[in-house]
Chain A
Amino acid sequence: MRGDAGADATVPAAAVSARNVSKNYGEVEALRDLSLDFPRGQLTSLLGPSGCGKTTLLKIIAGLLEPTAGEVEVNGRPVTGPGPDRSFVFQDFALLPWASVLRNVAFGLELRGVAMSEREAIAEKYIRNVGLAGFEKSYPHELSGGMRQRVGLARALAVDSEVLLMDEPFSAVDEQTRRKFQEDLLGLVAGENKTFLFVTHSIEEAVYVSDQVAILLPRPSRVSEVIRPRGLRTKNVDDIRRDPEYLDIVDRIWASLRSYVE
């Protein structure tokens, strides 16, 4: 593994670590011997072309898929299935179409047996946090794509898990909404003391939101490089896209990925 992860003494301990993870779907070798640490309280992006196994890795960490070999640890404990320490934000939102926004956001708590009044109070708080106040009684089909993803995000936040797994959460929303989401995400990472795992295929998005960018190469996938932007997190959100370091890293990633396009 190349990159400067090991050299940086300020990197917090890993909340999640994947060790020598391989995953085969029958003949298809999706992941081969992939190892990666996800520092606590930070946002790590998984960046790579479509079909390189990003979703597969995220689902293995979520406990939804079994790896063919290797293992994943969350807080030092091996993952054997889904657990309350991790929650998931789905690319296609995965909202219950027959339930209101309030019930959808409270659904994770409902499944955990939290009493109705308590879980609705918590859900209302997170609905306000993601900027959907006033839409509690609406149904998913009455909302735009961006609003639906806010519901999915609020649901994942409401269960207050330590690790948040996000699978291309912004890919189904329009560009303006996407930019707003990216800014809000920076606020979340700074405000909530959680570890974020963020899948994207957009280089700009990855560099903009991440403390650490892991670049995955096409199948069978392993981590080719880990990049940790140093100065970007202290910058004003409006200035990041003009920052020389931001532009440099975007260029560098493009240079290493371009050979795999086509």
Chain B
Amino acid sequence: MRVLGFRLPGMSSLILWGLVWEAVGRSGLTFFLPPLSEVFATFFAIVGTAPFQKALSETAQAFLAGVFSAVAIGIPVGILMGKNRLVDELLLPWVNIFLSAPLTALVPVLMVLFGFGLKSIIITTGLFAVWIIILNARAGVMQINRSLVEMARCFGATPWAAFSKVYFWAALPEILGGVRIGVIRAVKGVIIGQLLISIVGFGALFELYSANFLMSHFWAVLVVLFALAFAVSEALAALERRVSFYAAKR
């Protein structure tokens, strides 16, 4: 967008919304919403504290481990389903059920099965992410040009070579799209898991802050989480754009 001949960088409108927030906060309309400046001040005050650092590292651990397992399981399973009718028939109904299932309802069960700790949160995170990654990898493989597959066979590709040199790359744009959506879901998973278990990571912090009506602390943590999730998603989108040049030309 251009204003008075100046090109505004993307998302400049956030500044406007920040001002609105500040104004509403200062008007003292509700204790629930402190001014944005206070939220930022609180953020800088708590960012170095031990509880915040602990919450951040626990969340990062759970998130990375969950996403890593979802990707490591989801991509090969999806590719296998796309290649093999039998595997596809066996797994597709489950993938579709879990994709649309309210996974939040499963978290208490996971807590019973895997305890009230990091393990349950990692599994929750993975469960939120993995289904869409599977479905997208499968869709990516199913749209592969038949003659690329025949070309690989014709020149004597072993199954592993066909997988790693043809199928994976041909499906990469769809796979990355799936990973991006999966990662966004994983952010939800890691937070929901922590909130329900609420003795780990940001769940514990939220519990602490909201129980004590520390609203600016609460908002500071929330803004951090939103910003992190957004940054992760944008980074993946940028990666996706790098491979889309050939996706369009297949």
Contacts and interface: CB of A to CB of B under 8 A. Distances in A.
Interface of A: 59, 62-64, 82-84, 86-88, 90-92, 94, 96-98, 107-108, 110-112, 139-141, 155, 159
A141 B245 CA distance: 9
B154 A141 contact: no
Interface in B142-169: 145, 147-148, 150-158, 161, 165-166, 169
Interface string B234-247: 00000000010110
Contact of B250 (A63, A86, A97, A112): A97
B72 to A, nearest CB: 22
A1 B170 CA distance: 45
A159 B148 contact: no
A262 to B, nearest CB: 30
Chain B at the A interface: SS class:
helix
Given A92-B145, A92-B147, A96-B169, A111 B155 contact: yes
A84 B156 CA distance: 7
B249 A111 contact: no
A64 B172 CA distance: 25
Contact of A139 (B153, B154, B157, B246): B246
B246 A82 contact: no
A94 B250 CA distance: 10
Contacts of A62: 154
A83 B153 CA distance: 9
A9 B120 CA distance: 80
Among the interface residues B153, B156, B158, B245, which one has the most CB atoms of the partner chain A within 10 A?
B156
Contacts of B161: 111
B246 A88 contact: no
B174 to A, nearest CB: 14
A139 B243 CA distance: 13
Contacts of A87: 154-155
Contacts of A107: 155
A136 B161 CA distance: 23
Contacts of A140: 249
A94 B155 CA distance: 12
A83 B156 contact: yes
Nearest to A92: B147
Contacts of A97: 246, 249-250
B191 to A, nearest CB: 36
Among the interface residues A59, A97, A159, which one has the most CB atoms of the partner chain B within 10 A?
A97
B157 A111 contact: yes
Contacts of B166: 96
13 contacts: A82-B155, A82-B156, A86-B154, A88-B150, A94-B150, A111-B155, A111-B156, A111-B157, A111-B165, A112-B155, A139-B246, A141-B245, A141-B246
